[in-house]
A and B are shown apart, each in its own frame.
Chain A
Amino acid sequence: MNKQNTATKLTNEASFDVEKVRADFPILFEQVRGKPLVYLDNAATAQKPKQVIKTLDTYYREYNSNIHRGVHTLSEKATAVYEEARNKVKEFINADSIKEIIFTRGTTESINLVAQTFGRNNLSSNDEIIITELEHHSNIVPWQILSEQTGATLKYVPINDAGELILEEYEKLLNEKTRLVTIGHISNALGTINPIETIIEKAHAVGAKVLIDGAQAVPHTRVDVNELNCDFYAFSGHKLFGPTGIGVLYGKQALLEAMPPYQGGGDMIKTVSMKKTTYNDLPHKFEAGTPHIAGVIGLGSAIDYVSEIDLHEAAEYENQLLQYANEQAAQISGLVPVGTAKNKTSIFSFTLDGIHPHDIGTILDDEGIAIRAGHHCAMPVMERFKIPATARASFAFYNTREDVDALIQGIDKCKQVFS
């Protein structure tokens, strides 16, 4: 897969073998409304390679069973593959121990878990939580709920017109009352890559803990929680070419040890009597009930898949697609890009004069092109730019320049329809 030895940096578009990866994604050969699918909604969910689909199929066909309790062969096999996937996640984000890898339903549940355990245990009315104007609703609402429960105050870091965090304002918000800074690694609405290294360092300097919402980051960048030194890191399997309904919460072991359980039930206990329950060790303390076994196994397979790809090279290829889209879009009158951060991933969010994003979405769909139109679960971002919605095309490494061409032609079609 890697061709790192080829030629110079300038030709790395050629060195990323897009046709080879495309062949792994069967859905890319589907037709939509009679046209070949052009899938540009990767920030909502990524497509699944045949390797992941086969892993799920094999699990259900050959060793479907419950884990951690069966004495029979199937259960032992399922338990082993499930725990092997946990180890793959640990290696993937470079955590210290599998005890730090908690499986959840997704990024949203990971964040809620931290809010309702760490948050409720550690925050009170004198404390402050810092979030940002860029956040997805899943990194706003859990903190608003926690704020209602504990009286803690929420503070928002503002963004500039390019969609970048204003770091001076962040520094002003930090103080000895700050208990937690919780921030997206990469913005889902605009693609801005936040300088989380600096943000983490400054938060730690005042004694605050840091949660990173990495939902948009893991498919585009190598994440090393040790190097970042973040306290919590949350992400979802389905944006990483794995199944929906499975996600990860990484937490530093000492913090997780001190946190109360999130949900009670089977698997998270050592002993239960009618008077008292003793909780299981990490990571099981936070995994009550039968988990999404197929999801975890599928996520393990997705991690195997992306580990075969040089994510850095893939990200460069995606950025070239974005740059090409920007160049083409600059020729279209009335098209306004939203989110023009210097450091951003391959998210192309835009508005068209006189044409609502939902109409753009429908007209593009008629051309077989899937984009997202709306507020992207980031209404404060829309409010900041004083727009109700944007149209958003988001690229993955299996997209091509031809996909960009189709998008641009589709936008022309929108203008024709409304001319």
Chain B
Amino acid sequence: MFDIKDLYQEVIVDHNRSPRNFGKLDDANKTLEGFNPLCGDRLTLYLKTDGNKIDDIAFDGSGCAISVASASLMTDAMKGKSLDEAEGLFNEFHDLITTENEVDTEQLGKLAALAGVRDYPARVKCASLCWHTLHAVIQGDDNPVSTE
């Protein structure tokens, strides 16, 4: 039987309590806001890129454990990645939380901890807010991202 602890795994509780890469990045060259109007979660994503490479990434804002842990895990995973690799992970992660498809858990690493979200459709937007914001940054979108 499904257990609530499958959703709130240790790694999620930990990243919610002590989010990594939390705070403003002073030398960011790309910044974008994401907002979930349904629940009020909001975050700002800061990126420092060098050509096609993500040198540094951070976020701040407020939200539920799923959204904070997701942003914390995502930023951890993105450091040093190329923008193409980031887009690849975006697709992989999207499949992880919205489909029953096989996903490359090796490539996802710790991000796979969010797999439990797929059993809670109402919470998919919490986990994906930071990712949609990252995707928009990479696409060069200047408008704040809304999950609605």
Q: Which residues of A contact B (CB under 8 A)?
A: 33-34, 354-359, 362-363, 366, 373-375, 379, 382, 388-389, 413, 417-418
Contact = CB atoms under 8 A, between A and B. Distances in A.
A417 B7 CA distance: 10
A33 B2 CA distance: 9
Contact of A382 (B8, B40, B122, B123): B40
B7 A362 contact: yes
A359 B38 contact: no
23 contacts: A33-B2, A34-B1, A356-B65, A357-B64, A358-B41, A358-B123, A359-B64, A359-B66, A362-B120, A363-B4, A366-B4, A374-B38, A374-B39, A382-B40, A388-B40, A388-B41, A388-B63, A417-B4, A417-B8, A417-B13, A418-B8, A418-B17, A418-B65
Contact of B64 (A33, A356, A379): A356
Nearest to A364: B4
Contacts of A357: 64
Given A358-B64, A359-B64, A389 B17 contact: no
A373 B38 CA distance: 10
A417 B13 CA distance: 8
Contacts of B122: 362
Interface in B47-83: 62-66
Interface string B95-124: 000000000000000000000000010110
A379 B42 CA distance: 14
Contacts of B7: 362
Interface string B18-30: 0000000000000
Nearest to B40: A388
B1 A417 contact: no
Contacts of B89: none
A382 B39 CA distance: 12
Interface residues of B, number: 22
A355 B1 contact: no
Contacts of A373: 39
B55 to A, nearest CB: 31
Nearest to A413: B4
Contacts of B13: 417-418
A11 B39 CA distance: 41
B62 A388 contact: yes
Contacts of B39: 358, 373-375, 389
Contact of B123 (A362, A375, A388, A417): A362
The 6 closest A-B pairs by CB, nearest first: A356-B64, A358-B64, A366-B4, A388-B40, A359-B65, A417-B8
Nearest to B5: A417
Nearest to B62: A388
Given A34-B1, A362-B7, A417-B4, A356 B63 contact: yes
B101 to A, nearest CB: 23
B126 interface: yes
Contacts of A413: 4
Contacts of A382: 40
B64 A374 contact: no
Given A356-B65, A362-B122, A374-B40, 13 more contacts: A354-B17, A358-B41, A358-B123, A359-B8, A359-B64, A362-B123, A375-B40, A382-B40, A388-B62, A388-B63, A413-B4, A417-B5, A418-B65
Interface centre among B13, B38, B40, B123 (most CB of A within 10 A): B40
A413 B8 CA distance: 12
A363 B7 CA distance: 9
